[in-house]
Amino acid sequence: MATPHNSAEKGAFGKAVLMPGDPLRARFVAENFLENAELVNDVRGIQGYTGLYGGKRISVMASGMGMPSMGIYSYELFREYDVDCILRIGSAGSISDKVHVRDLVLGMGACTDSNYAHQYRLPGTFAPIADFDLLRAAAEEGEKLGVACHVGNLLSSDLFYDDDPDFAVKWAKMGVLAVEMEAAALYMNAARTGKKALAICTVSDHLFTGEALSSEERQLGFRQMILLALETARRFA
């Protein structure tokens, strides 16, 4: 059942998959949180592993950066590998004075400047949203773990370097909490395939204050987010 981007055999992935953007973070999760983790894909260095967590079969695979990359990998997992739910675990930049560095954000919705939805030829604007069951479960698991989670809108942007210096201010006026680059494509793929998706993001930097985590902290940290995602995934595995 190999695809141009995934060499795994059919059945190699669990029903629930965690998706960080960084392949090294996927390996970190597999080596530090999963039992008997097995590498099932390494095409183009996009590492995918399947192992056990709390007795449940769970997978973790990188998505790469940006909506085109997330669009490919999540679509293939949903459509070709019969994955039921994907939880994005990634970083985001806060644009809210209520959301601080190291805080967690559960993406109830994902605004976007992308044209990704154009493919569906809809007679209007599609609103990408998380699966409510996943969102509710994540919020409940956050309470059990004692992890404070902000719930609200993310901005999934195609641009890391935006030529408009005021873009973040404009989105912040609409109550958007943080900016990232993948959730909207994930949510649209889940909607199109009838599957479940949720983005759980750790705030790695604040666009207005300039506070930021190091690249090493981004790659190897985020333990609260990982544990929250795994506890949530276990309920759907």
- Where the chain has pLDDT below 70, the residues are 1, 7, 218-221
- State the fold for domain 16-234: Rossmann fold (3.40.50)
- How far is it, in rounded angstroms, from Cα 16 to Cα 82? 10
What residue has token string 């004692």?
146
What count of Cα atoms within 13 Å lies in the side-chain half-sphere of residue 23?
A: 13
Going from N- to C-terminal start, the domains of the chain cover: 16-234
The pLDDT of residue 213 is 86
- What is the C-alpha separation between 22 and 44, in angstroms, rounded? 12
Check if the beta carbon of residue 131 is closer than 8 Å to that of residue 85. Answer: yes
- Listing DSSP states for 43-101 in one string gives GGG--EEEEEETTEEEEEE---SSHHHHHHHHHHHHHHS---EEEEEEEEEE-STT--T
Chain segment 3-32, per-residue pLDDT in tens: 878 767 888 999 999 999 999 999 999 999
22 has catalytic annotation: no
The whole-number pLDDT of residue 135 equals 98
Which residue in the list 42, 133, 158, 205 is annotated as catalytic?
205
